[in-house]
Structure 1
Amino acid sequence: ERWFQRCQQIRLSSALLFDAVYAVVAAVQELNRSQNVGATQLSCKSSKIWEHGTSLMNYLRMVELEGLTGHIEFNSKGQRSNYALRIMQNSKDGLRQIGLWHSEDGLSMERKLPSINVTDTLFNTTLTITTILENPYVMLRPNHQDLEGNDRYEGFCVDMLKELADILKFKYRIRLVGDRLYGVPGANGTWTGMVGELISRKADLAVAGLTITAEREKVIDFSKPFMTLGISIMYRVHLGRRPGYFSFLDPFSPGVWLFMLLAYLAVSCVLFLVARLTPYEWYNPHPCLKGRCNLLINQYSLGNSFWFPVGGFMQQGSTIAPRALSTRCVSGVWWAFTLIIISSYTANLAAFLTVQRMEVPIESVDDLADQTAIEYGTMHGGSTMTFFQNSRYQTYQRMWNFMHSKQPSVFVKSTEEGIARVLNSNYAYLLESTMNEYYRQRNCNLTQIGGLLDTKGYGIGMPVGSVYRDEFDLAILKMQEDNRLEILKRKWWDGGKCPKEEDHRAKGLGMENIGGIFVVLVCGLLVAIFMAVLEFVWMLRQAPGNESVCEEMLRELQGIVLCRDSLQVRRRRAASLMRPRPLPLEERRARAAAVSLSNGKLCGGTGLPEPLSHRLAQEAALVARGCSHIRICPECRRFQGLRMRPAGATGAANFVLPSRQQPVVSFGFSWGEFFPSS
């Protein structure tokens, strides 16, 4: 019957060729009546055309005759019009016309098609099914030794066969192919595998993951595809480094962090320099004493100059506020810089902490073809190997040359062998996307690289001219419309072992992501405690006394733990610090009314228990020693000494402070007022 159909196709081609020549002859005859048509020698390299060509095309559009293929007529565009096609059905009685298709009127059926549930050819017929063991299409049951016949097998194709048998009312017998191959042509024109068994009529159907290819279509028939797929690349998962305790530093590269540190140091130094140069950062802390001699202070000491950018960078600010235009300019530029840095860091932090990116050496088939470090191959004797062998695409040709010439061979005998080679060596396996998806669901160490290399389908193989082809086509289309094939695929493909991409994105952050910030916090607390201990020890070392450092430390800790008022301890320690140094008589008299100058700041008061005059003398000595953040106003620099005045009603006290190769500074102060002595 197949040869009969081919003979019918040859006869149809001959009839169309005859009608074409007949139409041209009719057009030339009509043209010859109006003008003398003659042959002209033309060259393909010249732009000269046949002078009668346009006229002949116009006469061809006007041809109307009856030929072997029916009525011949053309429209203004040169297309055939006003013709009809008969629809024939192949049955036991031969070809019968069941409908007519007209170019103008469309389709009209004379009789209905037979129901696919009841057929004369398949009803109560036992078919031999050849197949191959391949997960999840056809598999042996765990207890297959105790079973017989079709009950020994399970899988997607087995379930599909059951539903096809219920629809078409046939019986079947499953038999595994002898050589365990799908089918490739041999050197002498013979075929192996399931295709070979269909050609030799040893089987009626081949139900498996059999790919529909043009080469196989020449020797066997295929049904409608029951599954669409493509060639994909399987490779093992290469995870990047696990997020460490300091992964919160990942949003910026090490170079950016280094430049940020250098920018911080540069801004701090420039701020310190600018604050010293500008006269508007030197100010009187007590504006009520304007016009009298007092000290001028600068809030940007070296320590404050390094602390002020830190407060701005941490978005917390500080009590130090710039007063001069130059320092405000430096501060504004630094704040704008920190605004962009903090915004960029915040925007990238979430992605770097929540997404564990994969580091894959290849991302597409072009990357795989352009390197030689990673081997790649396919299943020997499969459609994937044939695809690369017959491909005319340059990249695929290069890949085939690599696979064909590689020693030892990169081809495998089964999918399981290819997957094992992927997991145990630097190897990429080329296989159908459906198989790739199936094994990736069951092994989380596997992944798919790139997209599909082609698009093809799986079909049911039959011998050439099989009378069951139409019935199986209709049955497969019905199963697709009822979503039965999709339900079967989900049943056998969904493994549920590996988490989905959404699960990775929804997973909360753990200590492995942000544990480093806790380490930084603990280290900062330990450094603060260590510095406090050093300051405590340094203060006790500077003060003369016989008390032990450990005893003082223990006494202070006991007061903290027992919630005692530590002010008493501080007062006792302050008294012990001041006790070894005897005070002059004049200084003791000045305690009744004195002014405290702390860090260059001027404040007044009486009756305080603190040795205010001594503190004033110490801080004035800072000026003489060259303290950078305290100055003497120019009005006071002309005084050469600080002399004692008799303690009278004013309660004043004068001090003479030595200096290092500098003139002695003279101060007079009385009841909170600060003025130059005369």
Structure 2
Amino acid sequence: MIPAGQWEEESQALGGLSSALLFDAVYAVVSAVQELNRSQEIGVKPLSCGSAQIWQHGTSLMNYLRMVELEGLTGHIEFNSKGQRSNYALKILQHTHSGFRQIGHWHVSEGLSMDNRIFSSNISDSLFNTTLIVTTILENPYLMLKWNHQELEGNDRYEGFCVDMLKELAEILRFNYKIHLVGDGVYGVPEANGTWTGMVGELIARKADLAVAGLTITAEREKVIDFSKPFMTLGISILYRVHMGRKPGYFSFLDPFSPGVWLFMLLAYLAVSCVLFLVARLTPYEWYSPHPCSQGRCNLLINQYSLGNSLWFPVGGFMQQGSTIAPQALSTRCVSGVWWAFTLIIISSYTANLAAFLTVQRMDVPIESVDDLADQTTIEYGTIHGGSSMTFFQNSRYQTYQRMWNYMYSKQPSVFVKSTEEGIARVLNSNYAFLLESTMNEYYRQRNCNLTQVGGLLDTKGYGIGMPVGSVFRDEFDLAILQLQENNRLEILKRKWWEGGKCPKEEDHRAKGLGMENIGGIFVVLICGLIVAIFMAMLEFLWSLRHSEQSEVGPDNVLKVYLCLLLRVECSARGMIRTRPAIPEERRARSTTTLSNGKLCSGGEPDPLAQRLAQEAALVARGCTHIRVCPECRRFQGLRARPAPGSPAQSEESLEWEKTTNSSEPE
């Protein structure tokens, strides 16, 4: 057993061993033939392979071969009765910087025997104060340049997970190291001529002692270099960008219903308002005499379902607030009940859908697994050129992965990228899925909320420290890595460099508060409604001011009167009330009587009570101090005179006016 230090030396050593074995084999045959020739004369004649004849001395030669005992290039040569070599020994050699040295031997009968002096020494003593060349590659977060790397030198220019792990290993094994970036910037793949590129090629050429990076342990790499025990376990995953249906807008509260449903709801509202208006006009049970008019003296009937009220009543029911308008007839109650049932279902459905639309951001991902990715051609997908992921698909015998490799290999332009950063940029800027290790997937998803992982892991593998074949430091690094894993130092380092991103964890599914971007539109509706209400109030005021000549209040005093009503204070109405010109007797007889509430009573002859009220209003106008408003019809009810301090007693007409008006007012 002769371990070689490098590939060329190993090939040379194996070739020398084969030559030595071949020489010993020929030497054994010659010795047997010589012994056979001494005992009898050997005759040689040509034989055919298809003939049944055999060489007559063959059995004798085999017997003499079993009896051969000699010392050859490979040691003692001896065979047993079955023709197998026996009673031989092997030397166990170790390759060092000074050459090979024997560390033990193995005998067919005695077994293995190792030099105890090697194992009695401390395992870390062989690396004490030794400087190792470490080849690596720039890859976040394994190895990165510091922001001020131009001002630094040597190992101080770098930071990352691998740098911290090297520091931990150097403290345990007590060695020094020098970080060297790989020349071609790749991990390592075999070329057509049998050579290797990247970090693997530098280890084979003995340009570096260690390769510390996200170097995946594969069977193909294990043939040409040695790996330590894995310091991180991972697998290939799919990285894709997050697809949102659309960003929430100010009017997202309208999303629970489609535009067609909103249109049909508006048409239903208009239809119910029109039907309610017509039904209320047809039924006699919705017509009644107004409260201010005394029974028997006014034959005017009014209907509470005017066009405005018919439009307002369905709005109150739809908003779940109701109104002071109550249906009296069975027909209007039937219309109201049907409308209330309709609004109950509509409001309940809207509330349920609103919670789903505003609190849950639904992702629209067209692929959910690797099978979905392989079965389509719309989304391009690829991996790093020259990496272990590319080798995995290239050597895979699984049908799905073979189909994916055929697609990636034949796709033009190429779907392979040179680095992880290039793959991430391609995912964000185009319809592209990136196949990379799960550790890198997790790292970039923590720092970019527009990225997501699709499906699970495609395989399971590990990262290891690469070393040249037959490295004397392999066992020492294995023990050091196991010690770091037992102390949870590797897990602590991973959390240090992986966590801290701005994106929340995907496992956190708690409800999040709604922002202004979700329900800001309802504030816009509220503000617009307030502005429209103020504008309508101003129009109503201007309209009443324009028609103030027909009222009892002068146009120059309308604003003052409204302010008095608004502030609910007593104000002097002197000079604010204007009497109407006297109406001729014959014109008064033909006209209808205008009541104080603004309603009209029909009839040929004027009502004596109305005449008395008009006369009293004209008499008391000079000393009016208070204006009353009817609580039923919200109009000027009348004017009451109050004697000023020190004035003579009220007249008999004034007392009768007070009595009449007070008796007709509700409590």
Q: TM-score range by the shorter chain?
A: 0.5 to 0.7
Deviates more, 1:365-374 or 1:475-484: 365-374
Unaligned runs of 5+ in 1: 8-89, 97-113, 613-650, 652-670, 673-678
Whole-Å separation in 1 of the counterparts to 2:246 and 2:570: 53
| 1:266 aligned to which of 243, 254, 271 | 271
Residue 404 of structure 1 pairs with residue 375 of structure 2: no
Look up the equivalent residue of 2:344 and give its one-letter code: L
2:646 alignment partner in structure 1 = none
Confirm or deny: 8 A CA contact 2:592 2:601 kept in the other structure: no
Residue 340 of structure 1 pairs with residue 345 of structure 2: yes
Q: CA deviation at 1:309?
A: 1.5
Q: CA deviation at 1:183?
A: 1.5
Residue 213 of structure 1 pairs with residue 225 of structure 2: no
Question: Matches of residues 422-441 of structure 1 in structure 2 within 5 Å?
Answer: 422-441=427-446
CA spacing shift, 1:596–1:141, aligned 2, 3 Å? closer
Whole-Å separation in 2 of the counterparts to 1:569 and 1:213: 106
Q: CA deviation at 1:406?
A: 2.8
Q: CA deviation at 1:353?
A: 4.3
| 2:388 aligned to which of 361, 378, 383 | 383
CA spacing shift, 1:384–1:116, aligned 2, 3 Å? farther
Q: CA deviation at 1:261?
A: 1.6
Confirm or deny: 8 A CA contact 1:126 1:170 kept in the other structure: yes
Deviates more, 1:379-388 or 1:421-430: 421-430
Residue 517 of structure 1 pairs with residue 522 of structure 2: yes
Residue 156 of structure 1 pairs with residue 161 of structure 2: yes
Whole-Å separation in 2 of the counterparts to 1:373 and 1:516: 37
Give SS of 1:183's match.
Answer: coil
1:174 alignment partner in structure 2 = 179
Q: Could you report, residue by residue, the CA deviation over 1:87-123 in whole angstroms, capped at 9, with x for unpaired residues?
A: xxx9944689xxxxxxxxxxxxxxxxx8998456655
Residue 532 of structure 1 pairs with residue 537 of structure 2: yes
2:494 alignment partner in structure 1 = 489
Q: CA deviation at 1:381?
A: 0.2
Residue 228 of structure 1 pairs with residue 215 of structure 2: no
Residue 321 of structure 1 pairs with residue 338 of structure 2: no
Q: CA deviation at 1:319?
A: 1.3
Whole-Å separation in 1 of the counterparts to 2:516 and 2:612: 53
Q: CA deviation at 1:374?
A: 4.6
1:254 alignment partner in structure 2 = 259
CA spacing shift, 1:427–1:557, aligned 2, 3 Å? farther
CA spacing shift, 1:250–1:140, aligned 2, 3 Å? same
Look up the equivalent residue of 2:144 and give its one-letter code: M
Deviates more, 1:358-367 or 1:261-270: 358-367
Confirm or deny: 8 A CA contact 2:553 2:576 kept in the other structure: no
Whole-Å separation in 1 of the counterparts to 2:593 and 2:278: 39
Give SS of 2:193's match.
Answer: coil
Look up the equivalent residue of 1:180 and give its one-letter code: G
CA spacing shift, 1:260–1:581, aligned 2, 3 Å? farther
Confirm or deny: 8 A CA contact 1:271 1:327 kept in the other structure: yes
Confirm or deny: 8 A CA contact 1:368 1:374 kept in the other structure: yes
CA spacing shift, 1:135–1:290, aligned 2, 3 Å? same
| 2:317 aligned to which of 308, 312, 315 | 312
Q: CA deviation at 1:134?
A: 1.8
Unaligned runs of 5+ in 2: 5-13, 15-93, 95-101, 108-118, 616-655, 657-662
Give SS of 1:248's match.
Answer: helix
Radius of gyration: which is bigger?
A: 2
CA spacing shift, 1:322–1:376, aligned 2, 3 Å? same
Give SS of 2:237's match.
Answer: strand
CA spacing shift, 1:281–1:441, aligned 2, 3 Å? same
**TM-score, with structure 2 as normaliser:** 0.61
Q: CA deviation at 1:386?
A: 1.9
Q: Could you report, residue by residue, the CA deviation over 1:581-623 in whole angstroms, capped at 9, with x for unpaired residues?
A: 657587699989x99795999xx996898669xxxxxxxxxxx
CA spacing shift, 1:205–1:361, aligned 2, 3 Å? same
Look up the equivalent residue of 2:250 and give its one-letter code: Y
Confirm or deny: 8 A CA contact 2:173 2:480 kept in the other structure: yes
2:141 alignment partner in structure 1 = 136
Whole-Å separation in 2 of the counterparts to 1:504 and 1:571: 69
Confirm or deny: 8 A CA contact 1:436 1:448 kept in the other structure: yes
Whole-Å separation in 2 of the counterparts to 1:94 and 1:175: 39
Look up the equivalent residue of 1:406 and give its one-letter code: K
CA spacing shift, 1:536–1:172, aligned 2, 3 Å? closer
1:192 alignment partner in structure 2 = 197
Aligned residues: 509
Whole-Å separation in 1 of the counterparts to 2:322 and 2:316: 4
Q: Could you report, residue by residue, the CA deviation over 1:150-179 in whole angstroms, capped at 9, with x for unpaired residues?
A: 444332112112212323444444333333
Whole-Å separation in 1 of the counterparts to 2:427 and 2:538: 60
Confirm or deny: 8 A CA contact 2:548 2:558 kept in the other structure: no
Look up the equivalent residue of 1:483 and give its one-letter code: N
**TM-score, with structure 1 as normaliser:** 0.60
Q: CA deviation at 1:258?
A: 1.8
Confirm or deny: 8 A CA contact 1:545 1:580 kept in the other structure: no
Whole-Å separation in 1 of the counterparts to 2:575 and 2:237: 78
CA spacing shift, 1:606–1:556, aligned 2, 3 Å? closer
Q: CA deviation at 1:400?
A: 3.0
Whole-Å separation in 1 of the counterparts to 2:383 and 2:310: 68
1:416 alignment partner in structure 2 = 421
CA spacing shift, 1:141–1:600, aligned 2, 3 Å? same
Confirm or deny: 8 A CA contact 1:140 1:154 kept in the other structure: yes
Give SS of 2:494's match.
Answer: helix
Confirm or deny: 8 A CA contact 1:418 1:429 kept in the other structure: yes
Whole-Å separation in 2 of the counterparts to 1:429 and 1:498: 20
Whole-Å separation in 2 of the counterparts to 1:394 and 1:545: 95
Give SS of 1:228's match.
Answer: strand
Q: CA deviation at 1:317?
A: 0.8
Question: Matches of residues 59-208 of structure 1 in structure 2 within 5 Å?
Answer: 92-93=103-104, 118-119=123-124, 122=127, 126-142=131-147, 144=149, 149-208=154-213
